[in-house]
Amino acid sequence: MEKQKKPGFTTRAIHMGEEPKMGQGHSGDVVSPIHLSTTFARRIISEPTGGYEYTRSGNPTRDALEQKYATLENANFGLAFGSGVAACNTVFMALLKSGDHIIAGDDLYGGTIRSINKVISNFDISCDYVDMSKPENIIPFISQKTKLVFIESPTNPLLNVYDIGAIAKICQKYQLILAIDNTFLTPYFQNPLDLGADVVIHSVTKYIGGHSDVLGGAVMLDDTDLFKKIKFSQNAIGAVPSPFDCYLVMRGLKTLGIRMDRHQENAIKLAQWLLEQPNISNVIYPGLPSHDGYKISLKQTTGFGAMISFEIQGGLKEAEQFLSKLKVISLAESLGGVESLIEHPALMTHSSLPPERRLEIGISDTLIRFSVGIEDVNDLMQDLAQALQ
């Protein structure tokens, strides 16, 4: 018998977890109902109705969302959290203990670095930050205390692309857990579990939600033992999303594939256009053949995403003047919304890093991070042009 082909990405994004329930006692909803109740009644003490007791522990709306998370990352399990940072910290607290050691990429989101340096360090968990452009760079930092390798690919904000498969092989050899923040590419363009990763994390606030109106985080994984540990901590720590937030994320997820295609279409055109501008000194986009990670991207992703970083000529004053003159593109933190957002990493998302550390990893005072939206690309081009003047 021929094996049934798995439905396509957008089909799963629309239908998984929201299959209409029909028959007696059901109403055939094509959209998952928002179950706002914080607690669930039962007739028999030992038998929670439908398996639900208390919304922190489980909720039908959240269950529907977690089914979508799992299927879109080709995972066995999906877990929903109140934010991306909540997802990261829960993974850390669930999988690590006092005295353990982490190896992390040296170009991470500032909030993740803050969590590692200021939160879990209080529990005697140490970390080395390593340039993982060469996977073998990890090996000298591995010790008996090392338990977890944490990376982004592409990274934030320098868009470095790492060979996930090669890093996964090293982690498997040394029995380390590999966790990857897949926020920038989303499950539509990259599936790290298929490349050998153990845990995938998303800031759902970004592309998955997609409309800058909901805070959320997600964890996807295959291993049952790791899932049980993180699931327990999800409930014990309690950093879960509300049912209404779950509904908003599911609503956004249904158009993720369509949005990502348009995001990327705009980003490729704008990256090529920025290369031609005389007052732009450097353009970083994995979809440009000149990018160091271009060939790796072709191997491990189905798209390049819609994040562009670039440097303008001059100094901090020129960078601030440029950003203040934009009209269509919003100067704001975050990314991944349908609207274009732009920010200054040194003064905004990565301001918590010491200046010398920022310069060491390549975050200059003229570096700009651009989250390309789905507006008419000509309007975005004109806005950049008038600001650059």
> What are the residue numbers of the active site?
56, 109, 181, 206
For residue 154, is the peptide bond before it cis, meaning its omega torsion is within 30 degrees of 0? yes
Q: Are 149 and 35 in contact (CB under 8 A)?
A: no
Distance CA 36, CA 160 (A): 41
If 0-12 CB within 10 Å is exposed, 13-18 middle and 19+ buried, where does residue 344 land?
A: buried
* C-alpha atoms less than 13 angstroms from C-alpha of 198 in its C-beta half-sphere: 23
Structure tokens at 341: 């957002």
Instruction: Please name the residues in contact with 188: beta carbons below 8 A apart, sequence gap of 6 or more.
Output: 9, 72, 256, 257, 260, 302, 303
Q: Distance of CA 302 to CAs 201, 217, 256, 286, 296, Å? A: 19, 23, 14, 12, 11
Return phi, psi of residue 369, to 5°. Answer: -110, 125
| DSSP assignment string, 7-22 | PPHHHHHHHTT-PPP-
Q: Which residues are 79's β-sheet partners? A: 219
Return phi, psi of residue 143, to 5°. Answer: -130, 180
Tell me the residue ranges of DSSP E strands in the chain: 77-81, 101-105, 126-130, 146-152, 177-181, 199-203, 217-221, 280-284, 307-312, 330-331, 341-343, 367-371
Closest CA to 190 of 374, 9, 7: 9
Within 10 angstroms of residue 294's Cβ, the number of other Cβ atoms is 16
Q: How many residues does the chain have?
A: 389
Radius of gyration of the chain (CA): 21
CA of residue 283 relative to chain centroid, distance:
22
